[in-house]
Structure 1
């Protein structure tokens, strides 16, 4: 690990002015520093900032402080009751020890677990722009089949972000100049395109201070994660779903996907294809056809395409069971 400067922020405004790499739980950043994948010259400790609250908003939703740990968020009674998909996703991620340290803001911004990104001797456009993508033509079993580019096929690793996406979450931020903004989660992330090293729309020194959830939605909530082992493994495919029935037809469907793309993936056309339809396997297949119409495997990850279809159908069948 290379030497770095350390500073502790006394308030949110000072955190931006200190002009460094923010650190809270550090469950991802410290690993990257040890491998010299990331070599920040300055770390700004934000752990003492007052960003640990969970409070109800005027519109009936929730405001979650960026420093709320994954364990505390998953166990919060109102999350378990009204946002079950989020609690399920959080508990599917990492291990108990990591969830005790990992924060809400940090979870959204964790880096990909691509093997080539983590190995400095290998080419990676995300780590070193212009060096190439070792995963293309290499070992790419965990990589993206949607939203990738010829410059990068890495996936986003967060379970929490997938659930947040289906819940229409938004992040509150404060910039280094003191101004603030609210960014819908679907607009926070950038697809790799020709600049895979730029992963979000956040500016230098811009700090996530909270995540907002809208008021709870009616319907059945499910989160299913398919992985290589039962715990402490990233998703090969995951599906977050909120489905509301009216009689024998689907009145509303929200779907988000993990393990398939460089960001938590959501496709409005897939959801629209289910609305007004009966919950049959034939209709689920049609929705999967839309989701996977532009899916492209790279050899080692070709299996993800049929796996995504089966997982989506299983989640929808579970969510509409008894209809």
Structure 2
């Protein structure tokens, strides 16, 4: 691990001020991802600004929305009564991730900005464009069973590892940011980037910009939501495919739907094609299958991960079917 300076911030303004003058400064929340990357010398910050003292408040608003401080732990969010009642998909997604110990340490802001768990990204004896831009991607011809089938490029086929972010993407969550240029609010779905030719640029945050809160807007049918994670073992495993969905059905027809996929792309994948196909449709298996086919029409599988396309299709149909049955 390389030498670094350490500062503890008392609030967002002081964090931004502390990070601003330092080239290569990084914000440190729970450290469950960043510290691992520092041990492997993949991340080499010159300065760490500890932001674990920022707001941990979870505010359940009267309008049905919830505002979550960026330093709130994943466990606190998953167990909060307002989250469990209004957005069970979010609680279930968080509880499907990592272990209890890690969820107790990991913060909401850090979860959103965690980096891929691609084997080749961590193995410095291999080529990885995300770790060393322009070096190549050994995953394409190597062991890529866990890798992406949507939104990939020849430069990178890594997946985003978060469960929480998949649920947040389905719920149209908003990320509150603060930085040297001021404050702004950004849809979570626009925060992460697809790899293109620059997979090392993973998000649209400006230098020194800090996540200070996440807002989950009110959703009338948010209580009818579900998260299903398909993985190799029952706990402490990343998703092969995951589906977060919320469904509003009246008299057998779909009035509104939200769907996002995990384990299949470089970012949490909002299933806009499937949502459009389901709007106004009869809530039955045929409609769910047609919607899944529409969403996965452009998916590209490789030697080891092509099974993910069929797995995603079946999981989408199963989750939507479950929600439709509950609405009947």
Q: Do the two structures share a fold, i.e. TM-score over 0.5?
A: yes
Deviations 1:17-76 (A, max 9, x none): 222200010000111111111111111111223x11111347431110000000011000
Describe how 1:53-64 pairs up with structure 2 within 5 A.
53-57=57-61, 59-64=63-68
Check if 1:273 corresponds to 2:277: yes
1:18 match: secondary structure: helix
1:99 match: secondary structure: helix
CA distance in 1, matches of 2:220, 2:305: 34
Report if aligned partners of 2:53, 2:71 keep a CA contact under 8 Å in 1.
Answer: no
Match of 1:318 in 2: 322
Return 5+ residue gaps in structure 2 as ranges: 20-24
Match of 2:214 in 1: 211
Match of 1:34 in 2: 39
Residue of structure 2 aligned with 1:105, choices 103, 109, 126: 109
Report if aligned partners of 2:174, 2:187 keep a CA contact under 8 Å in 1.
Answer: yes
Describe how 1:143-154 pairs up with structure 2 within 5 A.
143-154=147-158
Structure 1 runs (4+) greater than 4 angstroms displaced: none
Check if 1:182 corresponds to 2:182: no
Report if aligned partners of 1:126, 1:152 keep a CA contact under 8 Å in 2.
Answer: yes
CA distance in 1, matches of 2:5, 2:86: 42
Describe how 1:1-323 pairs up with structure 2 within 5 A.
1-19=1-19, 20-49=25-54, 51-57=55-61, 59-177=63-181, 179-218=182-221, 220-321=224-325, 323=328
The structural deviation recorded for 1:318 is 0.5
CA distance in 2, matches of 1:301, 1:176: 42
Report if aligned partners of 1:190, 1:199 keep a CA contact under 8 Å in 2.
Answer: yes
CA distance in 1, matches of 2:42, 2:123: 8
2:145 match: secondary structure: coil
Deviations 1:141-166 (A, max 9, x none): 00000011110000000000000011
CA distance in 2, matches of 1:320, 1:164: 21
TM normalised by structure 1 equals 0.97
CA distance in 2, matches of 1:151, 1:41: 28
CA distance in 2, matches of 1:158, 1:72: 17
Return 5+ residue gaps in structure 1 as ranges: none
Report if aligned partners of 1:36, 1:120 keep a CA contact under 8 Å in 2.
Answer: no
Deviations 1:257-287 (A, max 9, x none): 0001000101322112112222222211111
Report if aligned partners of 1:240, 1:256 keep a CA contact under 8 Å in 2.
Answer: yes
Report if aligned partners of 1:188, 1:200 keep a CA contact under 8 Å in 2.
Answer: yes
1:321 match: secondary structure: helix
TM normalised by structure 2 equals 0.95
Report if aligned partners of 1:37, 1:119 keep a CA contact under 8 Å in 2.
Answer: no
The structural deviation recorded for 1:224 is 0.2
Deviations 1:158-177 (A, max 9, x none): 00000001111010011124
CA distance in 2, matches of 1:18, 1:298: 45
CA distance in 1, matches of 2:292, 2:225: 19
